[in-house]
Amino acid sequence: MNACAILNPEAGSAQRDGLRAELDDLGLDWWATQAAGDAADLAERAAGGDYDRVIVLGGDGTIHEVVNGLMTVEEPPALAVVPLGTGNDLARTLALPEDPLEALALVPDGPTHALDLICVRPEDGPTRYAINAAAGGFSGQVDEQLTPEMKQTWGPLAFLLGAVSALPEMENYETRIAYDDGEADLVDAFNVIVANGRTVGGGKPVAPVANPEDGLLDVVTIQGGTILELSQVAAQLVAGTYLDHDLVQHRRVTSVRIAARPGMWFNVDGELLTKEPVTFEVVPQALPVLVGPTYQAAPPA
């Protein structure tokens, strides 16, 4: 194995010293980020070298940067994730150990699977890649009535887990959604999730049946409803059964274009990106990724 590592020193403070020592003991080249964008730049440098595995030690935002750096080359090296964030949603889908040192111990001999990625094409910015999920909805409109924890989740969870009772007067989005090559449908959308992984917001199963290797995106649309109905959706979301609710539509597609009025803010792998029209397209088996010993591409029945 010829691996290198990219560490976000702001993440996982309790484990930092032990991880630095372990990286040194493994004899790996490793670098620490100092500012936003550093992880992408370092990953691009690593992708252009002769490394066969690039380890990212950080949260989902740092992983997002590293993925985009790796995808600057035609045949990227494998990605290995050591979860240090607060949500660690990709690591959950990959069935990686929660303990960072245990996850790091898997890197030398752990198996890799070729995972799909989401190509994100906003009208107002450059193309980028997502590996876990994009979520759009009331992200930019939640206010001081919500707790800091709710605000951190953004997207669907901010409303579904708190703002249902706090913000009953908010209106829905007039949203045009076009699946694959079809015509756009006008939807009274409340939230939209475009998923490759299964959870966001620290384990909330927004796409519980997603398969990150099937060459398809799981698109979940939550339509507007009464406070009671949306509270039911929220409860079923936590239980992992909300796809059965009448207000929830689930589609598997290769691409989806979304345009909303007013503009629907989307975050991508937890990073707020755009409120302009945006297209999401699957890139099948785009990146080899280290998985945990109990990983299953298809979720358990």
Is the pLDDT score of 202 beyond 90? no
pLDDT tens track for 209-248: 999 999 999 999 988 777 778 778 877 887 888 999 999 9
Q: What is the pLDDT of residue 237?
A: 81
Average pLDDT over residues 281-287: 98
Is the pLDDT score of 188 beyond 90? no
Answer yes or no: are the C-beta atoms of 23 and 5 closer than 8 Å: yes
pLDDT tens track for 107-123: 999 999 999 999 999 99
Q: What is the pLDDT of residue 16?
A: 66
**pLDDT greater at residue 69 or residue 11:** 69
The C-alpha angle with vertex 173 and arms to 214 and 89, in degrees rounded to 5, equals 40
**pLDDT greater at residue 241 or residue 96:** 96
Q: What is the pLDDT of residue 140?
A: 35
Answer yes or no: are the C-beta atoms of 293 and 95 closer than 8 Å: yes
Q: What is the pLDDT of residue 65?
A: 97
Answer yes or no: are the C-beta atoms of 185 and 174 closer than 8 Å: no
Average pLDDT over residues 53-71: 96
Residue 300, preceding peptide bond in cis (omega within 30° of 0):
no
- Residues 6+ away with beta carbon under 8 Å from 89: 60, 132, 133, 197, 198, 199, 200, 201, 202, 203, 270
Domain limits, the chain: 3-110, 121-285
CATH T-level assignment (fold) for domain 3-110: Rossmann fold (3.40.50)
Average pLDDT along the chain = 86
pLDDT tens track for 126-178: 999 999 999 887 533 433 344 445 444 444 454 455 445 444 545 567 899 99
In the DSSP assignment, the letter for residue 245 is S
Helices 60-70 and 38-47, packing angle to 10 deg? 40
Domain 121-285 sits in CATH at 2.60.200.40
State the pLDDT confidence band at 301, using cuts at 50, 70 and 90.
low
Average pLDDT over residues 58-64: 93
Q: What is the pLDDT of residue 13?
A: 58
